[in-house]
Amino acid sequence: MINSDFRKKMADSWFSYLQSQICKEFEFLENNKFKFSRRDWKKNNKKEGGGTSCLLLGGKIFDKVGVNKSTVCGIFPKQFRSKILGAEKKGKYWASGVSVVAHMKNPKIPALHFNTRFIVTSKEWFGGGMDATPSHTDNKEKKIIHDDLKKVCLQNKKSYKKYKKWCDKYFYLPHRKEPRGIGGIFFDYEQKNWIKNFKFIRELGLTFIEISNKVINRKKKLKWVKKDKDEQLIKRGRYVEFNLLYDRGTKFGLNSGGNTDSILMSLPPEVKWK
């Protein structure tokens, strides 16, 4: 039986490795002409951990892409404990994970979002997912993304239908009565078999890299005009609305003493509202 400290160490190591691999792949897509800037941060109480934020701005592919990794611990504020599994009584937690948000220069390429995490309170579980937010309809692209996500779920005996439905329900803007994008998969509270769940988390991370390469390489040379960009910037407004009003990751980060600039890196560099 793997003890809890070793499970934490393995998860933390994997997330560090995944962050470095995503950054390498994205720099390769930029022909290594645009590089990530790296910023390390610590919580106010340095014993409670911190993270590394990697940011690439103004590339030929990416308008803005952030790849964040953090490993933090501490005690949740009392008013927030009831919302976290296993934190209801003492509020003690440990959390590690990677989060990626990519906003593209070419408006024909969708914004991509991915995150995976391992959280320990009085319970232990994995969560995460991936979804895409296009500003232009492309059913073939939608099929590519969903087929690859379905494949990694089936390989790991996970319910793609359940995760897809969960994603569609989660990434929804009730005040506009519309989805944020074309969905993907979303899951939380995966507890039953740590070894199998950890394998799934790792394979999902690699699948995200594969999907990103497929989607970007398929469209990176497509021509676009100002009207296309305007449509993208308006769609980004929906992204901002969701992340500031509803996103659980944003709320978790702010309530766990995370770095505010890193938490809000998901926001696009430029956005419009009608």
Residues marked active site are found at 113
The kind and range of the H/E element at 114 are strand 111-120
Listed in sequence order, the residues at least 6 apart from 200 whose beta carbon sits closer than 8 Å to its beta carbon are: 126, 152, 156, 158, 190
| HSE value, Cβ hemisphere, 13 Å, CA-based, for 120 | 16
The kind and range of the H/E element at 99 are strand 92-104
Pick from 264, 231, 272, 259: which is nearest to 72 by CA?
259
Between CA 105 and CA 122 the distance in angstroms is 43
Q: Which residues pair with 230 in a beta bridge?
A: none
